[in-house]
Amino acid sequence: MSTEPMRFDTKIAVLLRADLEPWQRLNVTAFLVSGLGTAVPEVIGEPYEDADGVQYLPMFRQPVLVFEGTKETLTAAHGRALSRALPRSLFTSDLFATGNDRDNRAAVRAVGTGDLDLVGMAVHGPKNAVDKVLKGARMHP
**Straight-line distance from the first to the last Cα atom of the chain, in angstroms, rounded to the nearest whole number:** 34
- 130 in Cβ contact with 86 (< 8 Å): yes
pLDDT computed for residue 37 by the predictor: 86
d(CA 124, CA 65): 11
- 96 in Cβ contact with 25 (< 8 Å): no
- 15 in Cβ contact with 74 (< 8 Å): yes
Per-residue pLDDT reduced to its tens digit, 36-89: 888 888 899 999 999 999 999 999 999 999 999 999 999 999 999 999 999 999
Per-residue pLDDT reduced to its tens digit, 1-46: 566 777 889 999 999 999 999 999 999 999 999 988 888 888 999 9
